[in-house]
Amino acid sequence: MPVSGTIRSGAAAIGPANTEFKVDAATGQDSVQKLNKWLATYLLDSPPAPTAISATADTTKISVGWTLPPQKRLAFTSSTAPYYSALRADVVATSLNGASDWSHPSKVTYTLETPVANAFLTCAALELYVDAGTPALSGTTYRAYGIATETPYDVRVYGVNQSTEATKYAVALNVKTLPVGPPTAPQSVAAGTATSSSIPLTWTAPADRDAATPGNQTASPYVKQYRATYTATSSVRYPTL
């Protein structure tokens, strides 16, 4: 429950002359907090879109990168302009005719980053993996999982704040993972000691078998099974004397 009381300011020349902020019993906010909220709601336009968006893809993931717009602090407040209360991305499978339909049921919205204590955003890339996993921000890259292989996707990245103005987007269209293709050959193939009924074979799995691929490609491994074929070598028959 909000409590009515007095908070004394430790900073010089801030707040009322007696360096006290009155806390409103109904809202639990002092005058500076109310001012910040008012500024964020009524003076801040919708944040500009990220710029310099780029998109690349390989067999395991789609990568989208961008440059965040500068954020400047408002004078005498703890707010920033344009202030991002969250950075988000919408991901939707592209329709067959190539048109973007952001209301499609396949659309997934990720909250890439939410600033803590009015800090600036740092997330500058989104990686969408074919594998399964738990979405999370790692450094400046947000990693998400579960897209379909060789399926085109549209991705739009945008910031949101308390403004009710239309949101501005940075968009990457029709990006899809590359075909997996055949795996590389197993390494160090060797035959063991033969018996009258068998010949044992050993080998080293190829590097792209996905056991250690970033993202842990366990759902759709490149190497699903090994297959061995053999043929008898030609023999030299001696002439009958």
pLDDT in tens, 6-49: 444 444 444 444 445 555 666 667 776 676 666 655 556 677 88
User: Of 17-21, 75-79, 114-118, 183-187, which range is least confident?
Assistant: 17-21
User: Which stretch of DSSP H or E encloses residue 92?
Assistant: strand 86-93
95: confidence class by pLDDT, cuts 50, 70, 90: low
Lookup: tokens for 99? 């048109």
When the pLDDT of each residue in the chain is averaged and rounded to a whole number, the result is: 75
Lookup: tokens for 74? 């408002």
What pLDDT sits at residue 39?
63
User: How far is 141 from 65, CA to CA, in rounded Å?
Assistant: 9
User: How far is 172 from 94, CA to CA, in rounded Å?
Assistant: 11
Instruction: Please give the radius of gyration of the chain, using alpha carbons only, rounded to the nearest integer.
Output: 30
What pLDDT sits at residue 109?
95
User: Of 40-49, 100-109, 145-154, 221-230, which range is least confident?
Assistant: 40-49
Q: What is the largest CA-CA distance in the chain?
A: 124
Class level of CATH domain 51-175: mainly beta
User: How far is 147 from 153, CA to CA, in rounded Å?
Assistant: 9
Q: How many CA atoms lie within 13 A of 181 on its CB side?
A: 9
pLDDT in tens, 167-206: 789 999 999 988 766 777 788 888 889 888 888 889 887 7
What pLDDT sits at residue 218?
45
What pLDDT sits at residue 220?
46
Average pLDDT value for residue range 125-130: 95
Average pLDDT value for residue range 79-99: 76
- Domain spans of the chain? 11-43, 51-175, 180-241
User: Of 3-7, 79-83, 159-163, 166-170, which range is least confident?
Assistant: 3-7
User: How far is 107 from 101, CA to CA, in rounded Å?
Assistant: 9
225: confidence class by pLDDT, cuts 50, 70, 90: confident
211: confidence class by pLDDT, cuts 50, 70, 90: very low
